[in-house]
Amino acid sequence: MNKNFPKLLYQLAIAGAIFLISGSASADSGGRIEISANDLNAACQAGGGHISVPVSLEINGGTANLTDECDITLAAGATVEILNATIDATHGDFDVCAFPQCGNNVKVEITNSTIIACPFCGVLICAPGSLSKIEVTDSTLSSNPGGGGTGCGGIPGVPGTRIVSEGKVEVSGTTFLIDTDPLIHGNVRCEASGNSPSTAVCN
């Protein structure tokens, strides 16, 4: 039997659960799950406020209007991609690798997407592990500069918008609203360019 077969069955079970709730989800032979942001609220509710990702999750297109907590929790080495999507957590809470924290050496990619925190919340995009990587490109993040404060791996927590990795971070062409002085930090390497406002730099 293929040693990856149990993992694939698990991935298909997750996709099946999301499909039953939302009517649209897919998983390929490698266990890659794809959903629309339209389905994110239902998927998070089904997971008790969390989506556990053993291998890979792609959130592509659509708009999520969250009504409660929604944390993306990656297993060691897993990947999440948020592409061309809007995640509106005005009436909820959204983070990547907040609680429970993710496994080490994960990859987070956010491209051409918008994430809006609740009026009292921060936003944490976290990637623990020295081989981890976060890429945020041509996106918009909005959060309360006094909200949140969860740490990431060995990186202490601060409130507001936090894009932090124990590995590498790349943030470009991204707009930060309300919290205009975000924490952008990579222990191994950090690159930030073309962001708005000009205070959105590596620190």
Phi, psi torsion values for 125, nearest 5 degrees: -115, 110
pLDDT in tens, 48-68: 999 999 999 999 999 999 999
Query: Does 201 reside within a domain?
Result: no
Query: Does 130 reside within a domain?
Result: yes
Under the banding of pLDDT at 50, 70 and 90, the label for residue 100 is confident
pLDDT in tens, 106-115: 999 999 999 9
CA atoms within 13 A on the CB side of 178: 20
Query: Does 122 reside within a domain?
Result: yes
Query: Does 103 reside within a domain?
Result: yes
Between β-strands 79-83 and 56-60, what pairing exists: parallel, antiparallel or unpaired? Answer: parallel
Look up the domain containing 47 and give its range.
Answer: 5-193
Between β-strands 161-165 and 56-60, what pairing exists: parallel, antiparallel or unpaired? Answer: unpaired
Q: What is the mean pLDDT of residues 155-159?
A: 92
Q: Which own/partner pairs from 29-32 qualify as long-range (CB within 8 Å, at least 24 positions apart)?
A: 30/55, 30/56, 31/4, 31/7, 31/55, 31/56, 32/56, 32/57, 32/58
Query: Does 198 reside within a domain?
Result: no
Query: Does 38 reside within a domain?
Result: yes
Say if CB 145 and CB 179 are below 8 A apart.
Answer: yes
Count of domains observed in the chain: 1
Q: Which residue's entry shows tokens 């406020």?
A: 49
Distance CA 22, CA 202 (A): 38
Q: Report the share of the chain in percent with pLDDT over 70.
A: 85
pLDDT score for 21: 44
Query: Does 16 reside within a domain?
Result: yes
What predicted TM-score, i.e. pTM, was given to this entire model? 0.88
Query: Does 202 reside within a domain?
Result: no
